[in-house]
Chains A and B, each alone.
Chain A
Amino acid sequence: MADNTVLKVDELCTHYLTSDGEVMALDDASFELERGGSIGIAGESGCGKSTLAFSLLNQVQPPGEIMSGSIDLDGIEVTELSEKEARRKIRWKKISMVFQGAMEIMTPVYTVGHQMKEPLKYHKDITGEEARKICEEYLELVNLESGIFDRYPHELSGGQKQRVVIATALLLEPDIVILDEPTTALDVVVEARIMNDLKRLRRELDISMIFITHDLSILAEVSDDLSIMYAGWIVEFGSANKIYKDPKHPYTEKLMAAIPDIRTDIDRLEYIPGVPPNLVNPPSGCRFHPRCHKAMEVCREMEPKTYDVDGIRVKCHLYSEDESIAESREATYDTAYEDEAAAEAYEGEKGKEVSEGLEEVEEELMEE
C-alpha cells in the first residue's frame, strides 16, 4: 500500500440475505482513497451507495453481510473486526459518518452538548469540562457559536443542526469522514455555505472525505475522484475533472446529460428510460444493458470487465480489446425500451405472484 493511501477497498461484496433471495447490493467494489483526498459516490437510489458506506464502517445490519473482499483502513483490515473491535478501534476515531437526514438524528430531549460529548467520553478518559472545551472548539470550527452547546436541537435551524452533526463527526480527529447526502434537505444558499465549510475543513484538518449523493452537480464542487455506481457495481471510477469533461460509461454520460442547465435554453431534457433493476435477480451480462443506448449483443451475455481508459476505470464492453467483442460492437442491437419489461423486473417475481393472486381475489369479488 502506498504511503499516502488511507483506504483501499478491494473486490468488496456486500449482500442482503432476504427471504426473497440474495440481494446483491454491492458487488466487486474496488477503489483507493488518498490521505486528504476526496471521493464522490453517485448513482440512483438503490444502487448500493449507502451499503458501501455501511460496509466501510463494518456496520452492515443483518440480513446484510460482507461476503468477500477486503477493506484496508490505514493498516487495519476492517472486514475482520468484530462489532466490539470495530466500535473501539475504527468508528469515530478512524472513520466517521454524517448520516442522511442528519437533522432528525439528534434526540430532542438532550442538549446539543450532551449528545456531542458522548463519543468523546466513550473513547477518551476525560472530564466533562474538558469534553465541553473540545466540543466548543469544534463548534467554532464549523462556524457556530460555542453557546449552541447548551441549546436543544429544536432551537436550531436545519443548517445549524447539520453543522453540529458535522462537528461531532470530526471530534475524534478521524482520517476519513463519510457524508451521506449531507445537504439534500437544505436550501441552496445554506447548502453552498456548508459545502464551503467542508472544503475549508478538509484543507485545514487534512482529512479525507467520501461524499455520497445522487446530485452530480454538488459532487463537482468537492470530489477529486468520482465513483459512479449502478445496480451494485462501480461502473466508472477516476479523476472527477476527467469524468465530468468526458464521461466514458454510457450510464455516466446519460446521468450527466440529465442535469438541467441554468445558462442555456433547452427544449427537452435527456433521461434514462426505465427503472434500476431488482438486485435479487439482476439482468444477465451487464446490469445496465436493458436501459443502455449503446448496448450490444455481448452486453446481454457477458459481464463486462473493468478497463483502464485514460486513467479512468470503466466497467463496459465498449472499451474491450477482445476481437470478438470489438466485432459485435458494430452489430448493436436494438434495446427499444419497454416500460413493461422494466416494471416487471422492478416488481420482481414475488411481487408478481402476489399481485396476480390479488387480481384473482378481486375478480371473484366483482363476480359476486
Chain B
Amino acid sequence: MAEALFKARNLTKHFEITQGLMQKLKFEGKKKVKAVDGIDFDIQWKRNFSVVGESGCGKTTIGKLMMRLLEPTDGKMYMKGKDITELSSRSELKAYRRQTQIIYQDPFSSLDPRHRVRTILEEPLQIHGLGDSREERTDMIKESLEEVRLTPPEKFLRRYPHMLSGGQKQRVSLARAMILNPDFIVADEPVSMLDVSVRAEVLNLMKDLIDEEDVTYFYITHDISTTRFFTDYIGVMYLGDMVEKGKVGDVLDNPSHPYTQALLVAVPEPDPERVRGVKEVPISGEIPSGTNIPSGCRFHPRCPHAEDICSEKQPESREVEKEHTAKCHFAGEIDFDLEVAK
C-alpha cells in the first residue's frame, strides 16, 4: 500500500484539572481528564476518514491535535511520513498549517461579523505571503469562491457574513480553508448547524472537491447517517479510545463492538413502520467522566455483554475482517442483527 497521508500512533492528550488551594494542600495528585487515550489510525490519500461518538468522547480534541492547536501529551503524528509532533519553530508550524486546514461547526461564529467575505478570504493569503498584489489576491479569492459555487464571485466579495444564509456562510468557511490548496482538511461537525436540505448540498460540494482539488477530509461528527455517504473509513470513539475502526460499509453493516451496535440502534431512521415501537437501546447509563475511566474495558459498566474479564483486562484490538478492527474481548463473537435490534 502506498504511504498513508496521515498517521497517528499512540496519540494521547490528557488535560490536567485546575485545582483549588484546598485540593492542592491535600496532595492528592493532579486529576486528569483523559480526552484522547492512546489511539492509532491511518488516513490514506483522498480516502476520507470520519470519527463518530457522543459528546465528550474526545473527537474534537483529536482534530485540534492534528492541527497542532493542542500539544499532545504523548504519541506521534506523521504527515506524508514527516513527524509533525516535532515541529516547533513558527515557520515549520506555519508551513504545516498551510497544508492542513480546519472548518468549524458554527459558521455563525467562526466568521468575523465585521469583515467582508473578501477580507475573510484574503487573510490567509496575507499570512502566508501569497499573491504579489491586491489584484492577484482578488483573482485567487474569486477563484476559490467559484470552487465553492458561490457564483458570480463579484456578488459575494463585498458581503458581510450576516448577508449570507447558513449554507453560504459554511461555503465561505470552506473557501477560506481551500484557498491555500491544502492536502488535508479537518472538518469538525461542518454541517450540523444546517438544515437537512442545505446540509446535503454542502456535503455534496465537499465531496466534489476531493477530486477537483485533491483534498482529503478528516470528518468529525455525531451524525453517523452522513458518514456512509461522505467517507471511506470510520473510527468510533468512546471515552477517549477508538473502539472500532474500518471501512465505513464494513463497520456499519457488521458492527462488532457493542458500543457501535448501540449507536446504530439509536440512530433515528425515517421509516415510521420500522421504528414506531419502543426500541431498546442496548446500553444503560450515560457516558462516564473522562477523569474516572473504568478499569479493564472502558465500556464494560454499560455493556450488555460484559463478563468478568472485561472489568479486569483492557481489550486488545482484534481484527474482525480485513482493515476492520474492534477493541473488545468478544469482537466477532457477538451476534448482532440491526433488523432484529430495531
Contact = CB atoms under 8 A, between A and B. Distances in A.
A75 interface: no
Interface string B163-176: 11111100000000
A254 B197 contact: yes
Contacts of A196: 278-279, 281
A126 B263 CA distance: 44
A309 interface: no
B196 A259 contact: yes
Contacts of B229: 260-261, 265-267, 269
A275 B167 CA distance: 9
Contact of A256 (B54, B168, B270): B270
Nearest to B259: A189
Nearest to B168: A343
B54 A359 contact: no
Interface in B35-62: 54-55
A195 B276 CA distance: 11
Contacts of B54: 187-190
Interface string B143-177: 00000011110010011100111111000000000
A269 B149 CA distance: 17
Sort chain B's interface into a size bin. 35 or more
Contacts of A269: 200-201, 203-204, 229
A65 interface: no
A262 B158 contact: no
Q: Which of B165, B207, B287 has the most CB of A within 10 A?
A: B165
Interface stretch (B11-19, B178-186, B219-227, B320-328): B219-227
A270 B281 CA distance: 30
Contacts of A260: 200, 225-226, 228-229
A358 B270 CA distance: 46
Contact of A355 (B159, B200, B225, B283): B159
Contact of B266 (A191, A340, A347): A191
B269 A220 contact: yes
Contacts of A181: none
A173 to B, nearest CB: 23
B165 A217 contact: no
Contacts of A19: none
B271 A258 contact: no
B272 A339 contact: no
Sort chain A's interface into a size bin. 35 or more
Interface string A171-207: 0000000000000000111111101100110000000
A187 B196 contact: no
A271 B200 contact: yes
Q: Which of A199, A254, A264, A271 has the most CB of B within 10 A?
A: A271
B198 interface: yes
A215 B196 contact: yes
A192 B286 CA distance: 12
Nearest to A195: B268
Interface string A253-288: 011101111111111111111010000000000000
B93 interface: no
Interface string B236-276: 00000000000001001000000000111111111111011
Interface in A335-368: 339-340, 343, 346-347, 351, 355, 358-359, 362
A159 B278 contact: no
A188 B195 contact: no
B230 to A, nearest CB: 8
Given A187-B55, A188-B267, A200-B278, A241 B273 contact: yes
A221 B268 contact: yes
Given A217-B270, A240-B272, A260-B229, A275 B165 contact: yes
Contacts of A45: 166, 195
B151 A339 contact: yes
B272 A221 contact: yes
A148 to B, nearest CB: 14
A272 B158 contact: no
A307 interface: no
Nearest to A356: B158
A251 to B, nearest CB: 9
B252 A262 contact: yes
Contacts of B275: 220-221
A93 interface: no
Interface in B61-88: none
A315 to B, nearest CB: 18
A158 B336 CA distance: 29
A264 B271 CA distance: 14
Interface string A306-350: 000000000000000000000000000000000110010011000
Contacts of B276: 221
A339 B266 contact: no
Nearest to B158: A359
Contact of B196 (A191, A241, A255, A343): A255
A218 interface: yes
B318 interface: no
A358 B158 contact: yes
B199 interface: yes
B270 A216 contact: yes
A162 B197 CA distance: 27
A44 interface: yes
A157 interface: yes
13 contacts: A45-B195, A187-B55, A188-B224, A189-B262, A192-B281, A216-B196, A220-B269, A244-B271, A262-B267, A271-B197, A271-B201, A275-B167, A343-B168
Closest 4 A/B residue pairs (Cβ):
A271-B200, A269-B200, A192-B266, A217-B268
